[in-house]
């Protein structure tokens, strides 16, 4: 069963996979969106909310657990949607908190706790997650983001496979930008 089949209430892109992903949601209206071809390691947890109020007298969620307090709202809370780009790798047991956007091509280290946005093609590690480095230089990142290979038809992706599965980034970019991978006539979707 694919992630999209396991979680039909969320937007999960083509080819995205992950074994025992757990998504915590308390029906606070936050949405989960994951792009195409994202790899999610074992034990990853995504929180769409459930954050306890530190600005109230108590952090305890009485309104969720005591019937007489159900009319109180605003606890637990969410910081918003979680948006994970395409071609992202999320390492084992990482935690993604509500309100976070992870850019295309990013890498999240194992057991990282991500509470802030992650730029495209950045590598973050630790608790809290901190920027380690970018996977490529800025010009290469801009070119990859412009190409959006993950949106190509599958036939074109298959045609590009020898370069996609290599360290030949210059070759890939040159061929992609000149249309060499177009299996079908026309432009990329």
- Residues acting as catalytic residues: 52
- Give φ, ψ of 67 to 5 degrees: -55, -35
Pairing of strands 39-40, 32-34: unpaired
Q: What whole-number distance in Å separates Cα of residue 3 and Cα of residue 6?
A: 5
Chain centroid offset of residue 168 CA: 25
Chain centroid offset of residue 141 CA: 17
β-sheet bridge partners, residue 121: none
Q: What whole-number distance in Å separates Cα of residue 68 and Cα of residue 26?
A: 19
Q: Which residues contact 49 (CB under 8 A, 6 or more apart)?
A: 24, 25, 26, 28, 30, 76, 77, 78, 79, 98
Spell out the long-range contacts of 131-137 with Cβ–Cβ below 8 A and sequence spacing 24 or more: 135/105, 135/107, 136/169
């Amino acid at each position: 069963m694919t992630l999209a089949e396991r979680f039909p209430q969320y937007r999960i892109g083509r080819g995205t996979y992950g074994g025992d992903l757990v998504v915590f949601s308390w029906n606070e209206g936050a949405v989960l969106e994951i792009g195409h071809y994202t790899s999610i390691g074992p034990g990853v947890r995504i929180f769409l909310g459930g954050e306890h109020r530190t600005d109230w007298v108590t952090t305890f969620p009485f309104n969720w657990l005591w019937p007489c307090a159900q009319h109180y709202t605003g606890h637990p809370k969410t910081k918003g949607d979680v948006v994970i780009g395409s071609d992202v790798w999320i390492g084992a047991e990482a935690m993604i908190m509500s309100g976070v956007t992870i850019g295309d091509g990013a890498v999240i280290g194992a057991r990282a706790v991500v509470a802030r946005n992650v730029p495209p093609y950045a590598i973050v590690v630790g608790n809290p997650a901190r920027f380690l480095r970018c996977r490529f230089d800025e010009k290469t990142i801009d070119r990859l983001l412009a190409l959006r290979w993950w949106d190509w038809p599958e036939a074109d992706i298959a045609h590009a496979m020898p370069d996609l599965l290599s360290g030949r980034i210059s070759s890939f970019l040159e061929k992609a930008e000149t249309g060499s991978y177009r299996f079908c006539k026309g432009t990329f979707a």
